[in-house]
Structure 1
Amino acid sequence: MERVVRVIISLSFVFYLLALVVLLFLGTRGFIFTDLSLIEYIKRSSNFVPFKTISTYIKAIFDGSMNMDIPIKNLVGNLFMFLPMGIYIPYFIKGIYKVSVFSLSMTILFFVIEVIQLVSRRGSFDIDDFILNMLGALIGFGIWKSTFIQKLLKQKSKHQFQS
């Protein structure tokens, strides 16, 4: 039974990673400003000011200045897109059990993703995406570290040793 659960979790992780690749690099955003040099593209499509995009979207939700789908999809989507990573990473990589190690790992991952999106012109570098992705991953990590999940894991390992 242990092996079946591990295979199911592994397969779900593979599908999750494929979905991330599609969302982050192959989605419908398309290439923007393709006639610009990379430096000009970076200048036009980057946001290095924390909470600039987040506050714009929150304001738009309250004053109706934007189609509601845009801020909701961006805020909620970026928040929950990496929540599963907070569960999968400590499940598969046993050395990542401290929040500091997990946070450093996610920081590196998110930085690489943002740079790849920028250089490939499949998106932009937005510090607010980074913040929301990290918050989502930390929520997932909190779920993983929760007493309920940890008790389930201990029960599972007790049954494994008793069999």
Structure 2
Amino acid sequence: MRKVIKFTLGICFILYLFVLIILLFFENRGYTGTNLSLIEYIKNTSNFIPFNTIYFYVQAMFNETLNINIIVRNIIGNIIAFMPMGVFLPLFIRKLNSVTRFTVSMIVIILSIETLQALTRRGSFDIDDLILNVFGALLVFTIWRSNIVQKLVSQR
């Protein structure tokens, strides 16, 4: 029975990764048709200042200067997008069961994704995306590893 559950979770993880790749690299993202050089593109589209984009969206929300859907999609969407990693990664990679290893791994993974998005012009590098993505993954990781969840799982 455990093997069936692990196999099913493995299929779910593969499907999640497939959807994540589509959302991050193929869904109407980036500016591949631009005539800017790669350096100019990265310079014009990237954010390397922590909380700069988040502050902009929060300010726009209070000033009502930006559609709320854009704000929710960019802030909440970035948190939600990597939440499943908080369960899947430690489940399939046992070495990632510590908070430190998990956090460092998520930072490396998301830094790689952000860099790849900028290099392929399928998005931009935004340090705030990294912050929100790691927060979402770490939140679920912490909840999943908490005693409350372990007690609920062991009762069944």
The two structures have a TM-score, normalised by structure 2, of: 0.94
Q: Is the 8 A contact 2:54 2:128 kept in 1?
A: yes
Q: List gaps (5 residues or longer) in structure 1.
A: 157-163
Matches within 5 A, 1:18-29: 18-29=18-29
Report which of the two structures shows the higher radius of gyration computed on alpha carbons. 1
How many angstroms apart in 2 are the aligned matches of 1:24 and 1:99?
25
How many angstroms apart in 2 are the aligned matches of 1:117 and 1:73?
18
Q: Classify 1:33/1:65 alpha carbon distance in 2 versus 1 (closer, same or farther; 3 Å).
A: farther
Q: Is the 8 A contact 1:33 1:41 kept in 2?
A: no
Partner of 2:78: 78
Runs of 4+ residues over 6 Å off in structure 1: none
Q: Is the 8 A contact 1:87 1:143 kept in 2?
A: no
Letter in 2 for 1:150: Q
Partner of 1:138: 138
Letter in 2 for 1:81: A
Letter in 1 for 2:25: F
State the 1:4 CA deviation: 1.8
Matches within 5 A, 1:1-163: 1-31=1-31, 34-151=34-151
How many angstroms apart in 1 are the aligned matches of 2:92 and 2:68?
37
How many angstroms apart in 2 are the aligned matches of 1:40 and 1:103?
31
The two structures have a TM-score, normalised by structure 1, of: 0.90
Q: Classify 1:141/1:18 alpha carbon distance in 2 versus 1 (closer, same or farther; 3 Å).
A: same
Matched length: 156
Q: SS of 2:7's equivalent?
A: helix
Q: Is the 8 A contact 2:32 2:121 kept in 1?
A: yes
How many angstroms apart in 2 are the aligned matches of 1:147 and 1:117?
37
Q: SS of 2:96's equivalent?
A: coil
